[in-house]
Amino acid sequence: MAAFEPVLLRNRGVEGSTTLKVYESRGGYQAVRKALKQTPDEIVAEVKKANLRGRGGAGFPAGVKWGFLPKDRKKTLLCVNGDESEPPTFCNRVLMEHDPHQLIEGTIIAAYAVQAQTVYIYLRGEFHEQFHIVQKAVDQAYAAGYLGKKIFGSDFSIEMYLHRGAGAYVCGEETGLIESLEGKRGWPRIKPPFPAIEGAFRLPTVVNNVETLSCVPHIIERGADWFTGIGPAHSAGPKLFCISGPVKRPGCYEGAMDITVRELIEREDMGGGMIDGKHVKAVFPGGCSMGILSADELDMKLDFDDPRNFGLLGLGTAAAVVIPHDMDMRVVLRNMARFYGTESCGQCTQCREGTAWMHKIATRIAADAGRPEDLDVLLETARNMGMMPGLSICGLPDGATFPIETTVKKFRSELEEYILAQPKGRAEYLLRVLN
């Protein structure tokens, strides 16, 4: 297979890639100059034509989202979603660490396209080093006149601010992010109204992921046809894939969306295979919230559509973690359940209680005190709390449903074996003592 020529990661490994000087010497800030000579509508049309689907998890086409903004709006806001807290995702971090100016350039173009004069880059609280890198890059861009009043000598002015979160997964949800930006608890809002109509400070607001915006300069520079020429039609463009767990080369790799999970794990220029003679037991291929694959489902294609054929929610963030053969599935189940149990914001009854129950049950199973019926209780709980059945406000509980449901379904016999091998009466004893 011909090696994929990196686009988004082309500056990774170049010395000083985070500085303006190096970024410009490698062709940076040309796309924005080109964009400012076009009308905003032309840019929206180009991005629409490229079918740039959002990289933040939902896969909604960016150009279409930008088209939802009311025509008669006075002021528009653009928020860059750099909250990246979905385990095990780190591609936004890599983009910000190695190429912050690419993000800034893409953001300026997007802001011009939607006529947003104020941009907030929302960074999760744990991104300390990344914050200093991006802030430095923003300072450099201001100093060069690429941000601020009348940028590049055009009539367009733009202010860009970094806004730091403080440790809450749910602030990655776009309306949770908006609430957090307003200085409140990161409690997602009921939609509609969608942020494009009424977002932060009740102004029309566009929220886009870091990777989505990093694609924009390349679309403007090389054209929508170049972009759609990469990968299958429904999943066009370069994509970052993350791979972690016990593989030889954990990291972030770029490719077209035509590779399989197996390739991501085994290819020499990607995961490079397993370490220490371990083999694959299971994989979370798209961030935890999308669900789990068993070892015989590794031929799933990492595009926006194929994951559904394997009972998963979607492509998610395309970040895979490999579960090795010697890892106890009860530990995996507990880890998943704990994540959603502690990260639910607590606004909706079904989500708050459901994720907490699942956490308790999974903890008990992992402590050798499960009951055979617990697995069915988990399935029932998982099915009765999401946004899709209309019981909750945001997508977090749906993201909790899939890992729990697929783990229980695909690894049921292993879990049952553990439960049957427990000391007799332990579950009942613990239940009596604890309740």
Return residues touching ligand FMN (CB under 6 A): 54-58, 60, 62, 81, 83-86, 170, 172-174, 207-209, 212, 394-396, 399
Residue number with CB closer to ligand FMN (254 or 398): 398
Residue number with CB closer to ligand FES (310 or 339): 339
User: What residues does 321 pair with on adjacent strands?
Assistant: 244, 284
Q: Distance between CA 200 and CA 222 in Å, rounded?
A: 33
Residue 40 near which of ligand FMN, ligand FES, other proteins, none (CB within 5-8 Å, type-dependent): none
Residue number with CB closer to ligand SF4 (209 or 344): 344
Q: Does residue 73 touch other proteins according to CB under 8 A?
A: no
Q: Does residue 15 touch other proteins according to CB under 8 A?
A: yes
> Is there a contact between 271 and 264 (Cβ–Cβ < 8 Å)?
yes
Sheet order of strands, 251-255 included: 251-255, 239-244, 319-324, 280-284, 293-294
Residue with nearest beta carbon to ligand SF4:
351
Residues 6+ away with beta carbon under 8 Å from 428? none
Quick one: the chain helix, strand, coil %, rounded to 5?
Answer: 45, 15, 40
Residue number with CB closer to other proteins (93 or 239): 93
Q: Does residue 21 touch other proteins according to CB under 8 A?
A: yes
Q: Does residue 54 touch other proteins according to CB under 8 A?
A: no
Residue number with CB closer to ligand FMN (116 or 247): 116
> Is there a contact between 196 and 32 (Cβ–Cβ < 8 Å)?
no
Task: Rule CB under 8 A: choose which of 40, 88, 223, 232 binds other proteins.
Answer: 88
Residue 345 near which of ligand SF4, ligand FMN, ligand FES, none (CB within 5-8 Å, type-dependent): ligand SF4
Q: Distance between CA 417 and CA 140 in Å, rounded?
A: 59
Q: Site residues (CB under 6 A) for ligand SF4?
A: 170, 188, 344-348, 351-352, 392-394, 396-397
CB of 195 to ligand SF4, least distance (A): 15
> Is there a contact between 205 and 66 (Cβ–Cβ < 8 Å)?
no
| Closest C-alpha to 286, from 271, 268, 269, 300 | 300
